[in-house]
Structure 1
Amino acid sequence: MRADARRNRQRILDVAGEAFTVDGTGVSLDEIARRAGVGAGTVHRHFPTKEALLDAVVADHLKRLHDTAAEALTAQEPGAALFGFLRHMIETAGPKQELTQVLTESGATTSEETAQAAAGLRAAFDALLCRAQQAGAVRGDLDAVAVQAVVAGAVAAVRHSARPDVGAVILECLRP
């Protein structure tokens, strides 16, 4: 893909992610094209359906989370790295969870790109958790599924609470 086409695709993904988050999934592809400053044909060439665009937005979010997790794996302090990553997940997960739910409820299947992004994120997350447990910063009796459940609960709590620190409070249950 040419550099300008890659930039246009990323611009469309960024605009679509924000539009779907703020305005819901009823935003048309043509409106996304207008907001992205590209022609409707450019959007339709990259994403022939709204479901394809939703899937790509989710995949892009998962790739960004993977990049953040991979960066956290290079940190000196494993516990701080994991908890920082978990806070980042809580801060960014809410709207993307809703998009994933809409995509699933529409009956659309996720693409191979999204499946690969999810697998990469799981692997990086598992490595972060393992490092933090080996350092004694996280309870040893927890696995990735349990920690993901805690994060999902924290995301829901943040959405419904007036306390800005409720996510951090919930994460404390992971400490030994």
Structure 2
Amino acid sequence: MTDNTASTGTEATGSAVPDGAERAPRRLRADARRNIDSLLEAATTTFATSGVDAPAKQIADLAGVGVGTLYRHFPQRSDLVKAVFQREVDACADAAPELAAANESGVALEKWLHRYTEFLATKQGLASALHSGDPAFAALPDYFMQRLGPALGSLLDAARANGEICDDISAKDLLYAVSKLCMPMSGEGAAHSRRMVALLVDGLRHGTGGSRPAS
């Protein structure tokens, strides 16, 4: 995939639209939606193992589609990187209410923080692109905080209300604290990050009379 590949307006809409005319939003066909989902899944896997500069054919082959289909949906490499990142952020955010519905508040918070830890571990392949200074990625830090801040905030509020954690930390501080703990270290893998986050959770409970639930 090259960054100067672009689709035409007729490719995107399927027909020309006169100047000044309103274009109604077009619902994706089921097969197009499946192709996009397959491409995003394949790109997520490929970026994690081969980096964001992996060949387009490698991604398309893994998705079971042609390279032309990849270019049609994601004309620029940055389009694909952004879509992968946003998809994974959304999945992490959406896990918060699911965990809250299935667990006690303190357990839901701990499980979500470990889910967030896994998200960070699998996003290392995107880090260089996201911090490259490319204007295409300028909005992603705000997207990250707008989605994950409220998700974590709701879990923190519930745990505070039940007296399960201390009340002097914000969602933003905790998101950044976990991300720092998950920064790659020489000779250490994902298991080390999980241990560090477990210690952080214990610290949140310190002074409340709480303790980590038995595994």
Q: Partner residue of 1:151?
A: 178
Q: Partner residue of 2:118?
A: 91
What is the deviation of 1:170?
3.2
What is the deviation of 1:7?
1.0
Distance 2:173 2:121 in 1: 18
Task: Give the TM-score taking structure 1 as reference length.
Answer: 0.86
Q: Partner residue of 2:49?
A: 22
- Bigger shift: residues 107-116 or 88-97: 107-116
Q: Deviations over 1:28-72 (max 9, x none)?
A: 223211221101111111100111100000001011111111212
- Bigger shift: residues 44-53 or 97-106: 97-106
C-alpha distance 161-16 of structure 1, shift in aligned 2 (>3 A): same
Amino acid at match of 2:196: V
What is the deviation of 1:135?
1.3
- Bigger shift: residues 20-29 or 78-87: 20-29
Distance 2:143 2:176 in 1: 21
* Cα pair 2:96 2:155 within 8 Å, conserved: yes
Identity, in percent, stands at 30
Q: How many residues align?
A: 176
Q: Partner residue of 1:7?
A: 34
Distance 1:52 1:90 in 2: 25
- The DSSP-based 3-state class of the residue aligned with 1:9 is helix
Question: How big is the alpha-carbon RMSD for the aligned residues of Structure 1 and Structure 2?
Answer: 2.5
Matched, 1:107 2:134: yes
* Cα pair 1:65 1:89 within 8 Å, conserved: yes
* Cα pair 2:114 2:197 within 8 Å, conserved: yes
Task: Give the TM-score taking structure 2 as reference length.
Answer: 0.72
Matched, 1:42 2:69: yes
* Cα pair 2:51 2:125 within 8 Å, conserved: no
Distance 2:183 2:201 in 1: 13
What is the deviation of 1:161?
3.1
Amino acid at match of 2:188: S
C-alpha distance 142-113 of structure 1, shift in aligned 2 (>3 A): closer
Name whichever structure is richer in helix by fraction: 1
Among 200, 207, 212, the alignment partner of 1:170 is 200
Amino acid at match of 1:55: K
- The DSSP-based 3-state class of the residue aligned with 1:105 is coil
Distance 1:167 1:52 in 2: 32
* Cα pair 1:13 1:57 within 8 Å, conserved: yes
Instruction: Point out the structure with max Rg over C-alpha.
Output: 2
What is the deviation of 1:147?
1.1
Where relative contact order (Cα < 8 A, 6+ residues apart) is larger, the structure is: 1
What is the deviation of 1:104?
3.4
Q: Partner residue of 1:73?
A: 100
Unaligned regions of 5+ residues in structure 1, if any? none
